[in-house]
Amino acid sequence: MPVSLDTIIEPVGVLIYPLAVCSLVSVWVILDKSVFWIQYLRRRNRPYLTQCLAAVQRNDNTGALAIVKQHAHPVLRVFGTALHYHTRHQSSQLQYACARELRGMRSRLNALVTIITISPLLGILGTIVGIIKAFQGLSIEAGLDPTVMIQGISSALWTTAIGLSITIVTFIPYYFFQSRVEKAGHDLEDWATQFELARAGELG
């Protein structure tokens, strides 16, 4: 027997709506971060990064800054921050710039963590409420027909399935995004080291 949306919502009540909000927020964040990481990976090892380092090694700060302004890239933003300061403050500025870029990459990931945490709890709560309503629906007039209770419990269990589905679908992209942030952190550290070597004239 097909299950309609009304038969799922009716025994659960308003608890289905927080789950809907969680799913919408999850989809929005996943799409937003997916676009960001697709663009980042496409520009990961562009020639202008090494061109900027070559300009820094030649002490051509003007040329290096021109490359930084011409291309929007996290690594170049790190370079640009360090180029505006004397070499005496270079290391701290590079660390600060890398941390700032990583904060941007981690933005809104906490929303996914929240959704992963509360979605199954909302699903279980919805199921409990649905089961309570199913038992309350039994009456002497209905002849204690177990079919009525089974149908009510079956509908209520859908909220747990929905909550777990949201959690699973959200967790997989979250794990991917988190691993990409860690990898990007290592990449930024490598580029920052190369920048320091280039400014010292020691980049091979």
pLDDT tens column, 144-157: 566 666 766 776 78
The reply to whether 132 falls in a domain is yes
- In this prediction, residue 41 has a pLDDT band, given cuts at 50, 70 and 90, of confident
Using an 8 Å Cβ cutoff, are 76 and 67 in contact? yes
124 assigned to some structural domain: yes
Q: How confident is the model over 9-18, as a mean pLDDT?
A: 71
The overall pTM is greater than 0.85? no
Per-residue confidence at 35, pLDDT binned at 50, 70, 90? Answer: very high
Task: For the chain, count helices (H), then strands (E).
Answer: 8, 0
192: CB partners within 8 A, 6+ apart:
78, 82, 94, 95, 97, 98
Averaged confidence pLDDT in the chain: 84
Q: Is residue 28 part of a domain?
A: yes
Query: 60 lies in which domain range?
Result: 5-199
CA 91, CA 88: separation in Å to the nearest integer?
A: 8
Q: What is the pLDDT of residue 140?
A: 47
Pick 123 or 9 by higher pLDDT: 123
Whether residue 204 is contained in a domain is answered as no
Please tell me the total count of domains within the chain: 1
- Say if 140 falls within a structural domain: yes
3-state secondary structure of 72: coil
